[in-house]
Amino acid sequence: GAVVSQHPSWVICKSGTSVKIECRSLDFQATTMFWYRQFPKQSLMLMATSNEGSKATYEQGVEKDKFLINHASLTLSTLTVTSAHPEDSSFYICSARAWTGGRDTQYFGPGTRLTVL
Amino acid sequence: SQQGEEDPQALSIQEGENATMNCSYKTSINNLQWYRQNSGRGLVHLILIRSNEREKHSGRLRVTLDTSKKSSSLLITASRAADTASYFCATDPLSGGYNKLIFGAGTRLAVHP
């Protein structure tokens, strides 16, 4: 089946530093990947749609200069949280879009827990 | 709001009992999907029901969809302690583009041995 990995699985950083999270589709190519954020005991909120070879599309209220997305290849999208602050602490989940069995499907990564001190 | 609504927010039952979770959404959809998430983990896809389907089964799972009421339900029969998790519905809206999924608030299910 389609597998999506994320790295790192968790990260702790100091306030003001930048953190990069990778999302990889391991056995398929994904022209579109999605980035979600999930606060404790809450649902997933879509942050942005990452398109290979073009600029990401951000959801309303998400700062594009703070959450930099780069989809440089068909198997890799990165999310960089710039100048992270404690309020950015969250669980970040990516998904990759693929055609499987004639159906458009999203496959989710295991998530990255970011803690900003 | 980006999210749909799910109820109940939390559900506590005994092993062997059935668990029913409901989801309501706001816009017309291509399909509705249910996911499971264990604490602090990623999402596991459970089942997808298309907008022209009314009911779907997968093992102990039964999903219904009522597009006129913009609602869906997930029934887990003969629950087990291992079913303890959060369950989310997610809709693929007709006008969303790029297969964007809109997630509900989730139901936290606790199944006690």
Give pLDDT, residue B6: 78
pLDDT digits (tens, 9 = 90+) for A74-109: 999 999 999 999 999 999 999 998 877 777 788 999
Does residue B2 have a pLDDT over 60?
no
B98 contacts on A by Cβ (under 8 Å)? 32, 49, 51, 57, 97
pLDDT digits (tens, 9 = 90+) for B8-48: 889 999 999 999 999 999 989 999 999 999 987 889 999 99
Q: Any chain B CB within 8 A of the CB of A41?
A: yes
Summary mean pLDDT of chain B: 90
Residue A42: is it exposed, middle or buried by C-beta count within 10 angstroms (0-12/13-18/19+)? middle
A9: closest CA of chain B, how far (Å)? 10
- Over its C-alpha atoms, chain A yields an Rg (Å, rounded) of 14
* Distances B38 to A92, A105, B6 between C-alpha atoms, Å: 15, 21, 17
Give pLDDT, residue B66: 97
| Mean pLDDT, range B84-106, rounded to an integer | 85
Q: Whole-angstrom Cα distance, residue B52 to residue B67?
A: 8
| Residue A21 binned pLDDT confidence (cut-offs 50, 70, 90) | very high
φ, ψ of residue B81 to 5 degrees: the values are -55, -30
Q: Whole-angstrom Cα distance, residue A5 to residue B36?
A: 18
C-beta atoms surrounding A58 within 10 Å = 17
Give pLDDT, residue B98: 58
Q: CB distance A111–B42 less than 8 Å? A: yes
When scoring A42, A95, A106, A114 by the number of chain B Cβ atoms within 10 A, the one with the most, hence best to mutate, is A106
Give pLDDT, residue B82: 96
Partners of B74 in the β-ladder: B21, B63
Residue B5 or residue B32, greater confidence:
B32
| Mean pLDDT, range B85-93, rounded to an integer | 93
Give pLDDT, residue B36: 95
